Amino acid sequence: MTTLTVEGLSVHYGGVRAAHDVSFTVEPGQSLGIIGANGAGKTSTLKAVMGLAPRRATTIRFGEHDLLRAPAHTLVRHGIGYVPEGRHVFPGLSVEKNLLLGAYTSSWKHTPIEEVYELFPVLREMRHRLAGALSGGQQQMLAVGRALMCRPQVMLLDEPSMGLSPILVAEIAGVLKRLNADGLAILLVEQNAKLTFDVTTTCLVMENGQIAATGVSADLRNDPEVRRIYLGL
């Protein structure tokens, strides 16, 4: 089992600072959340870990693998699944092709596609449809399913609740909890603090590109300040 370690991570787009000196670790089987308002630097942080945003950092490691030097397309081979913000399924390809591409780096003869179909039965029904023709919720399931196809040890999710109805958000939350209980480590970035507290055990709060607070999710849920800002209570 492997730990994801991020130390001193900064993200700059041109002259604009999106994240500054962010550090955290995701232990094997742990579930860590990052909450914060729009523009707090959550997505940039996640993209930078994946090597998809311009970054500077002291350390980004996954176990023995130095991700700081690894090209972005090699991360999936180490067992890092990524569910991008806005789902980003391949719209012109079938649901099944989308899932298979999640297992691009391994043999297509032995993929966990059956497990994914069991987790999301609707994807099995829709497997010959074009991904672009699915509803937002189905696309989100497809994006999660695609990330599971590489048999990840840790999964990085960016705003999986975006644009979904409360029922679907609850369904996604249920799936994430189940996956986590089965040993998958989860790094969940969300504006939806309620979902994040529900799924994760530890949580970071980001403000203006920096980590403003860290705590146990259950404690944060009851923190009056956090409740006021992020839950609107």
Partner 1 sequence: MQVFLQTLIGGVTFGAVYALVAMGFSIVYRTMGLVNFAHGSVVMIGAYAASTFYLATQLPFAVAIIVAITVTGLIGLIIERFLRPLENKDFTLMLIGTIGFGAVLEAGAVLIWGATGHAVPSPVATGPIDLAGIRIPTYNLVVIAVAAAATGLLALFLQRTKRGAAMQAVAMDHQAATAVGIHVGRSNAMAFAIGAGLAALAGSLIGPMLYVNPTMGGTLGIKGFAAAMLGGFGSMPGAIVGGLAFGLLDAFAAGNFQEYSELVTFLVFAVIVMIRPTGIFGEATVNRA
* Interface stretch with partner 1, choices 4-12, 69-77, 116-124, 168-176 (CB under 8 A): 69-77
Evaluate whether 209 touches 41 at the Cβ level (below 8 Å). Answer: yes
Evaluate whether 145 touches 87 at the Cβ level (below 8 Å). Answer: no
Q: Helices 95-102 and 136-148: crossing angle, nearest 10°?
A: 30
* Interface stretch with partner 1, choices 84-92, 165-173, 174-182, 210-218 (CB under 8 A): 84-92
| Contact between 130 and partner 1 per CB under 8 A | no
> Of the candidates 101, 94, 100, 97, which has an alpha carbon nearest to the alpha carbon of residue 73?
101
| Contact between 232 and partner 1 per CB under 8 A | no
Q: Name the residue nearer to partner 1 (CB basis): 144 or 205.
A: 144
| Contact between 74 and partner 1 per CB under 8 A | yes
| Contact between 65 and partner 1 per CB under 8 A | no
| Contact between 213 and partner 1 per CB under 8 A | no
For residue 80, count other CB atoms closer than 10 A to its CB. Answer: 25
| Contact between 37 and partner 1 per CB under 8 A | no
Shortest reach from residue 32's CB to partner 1, in Å: 19
| Contact between 100 and partner 1 per CB under 8 A | yes
Q: Give the x-and-dash track for 131-150 against partner 1 (CB under 8 A).
A: ---------------x---x
Binding partner 1 (rule: CB under 8 A), the pick from 1, 39, 108, 174 is 108
CA distance 148 to 107: 15
| Contact between 157 and partner 1 per CB under 8 A | no
CA distance 229 to 109: 49
* Torsional sign, CA 106, 119, 85, 1: negative
* Interface stretch with partner 1, choices 21-29, 102-110, 115-123, 171-179 (CB under 8 A): 102-110
For residue 128, count other CB atoms closer than 10 A to its CB. Answer: 9
Shortest reach from residue 102's CB to partner 1, in Å: 5
Backbone angles phi, psi at 13, to 5 degrees: -105, 105
CA distance 146 to 120: 11
Q: Which residues make up the interface to partner 1 (CB under 8 A)? A: 50, 52, 71-77, 82, 84, 88-93, 97, 100-102, 104-105, 108, 146, 150
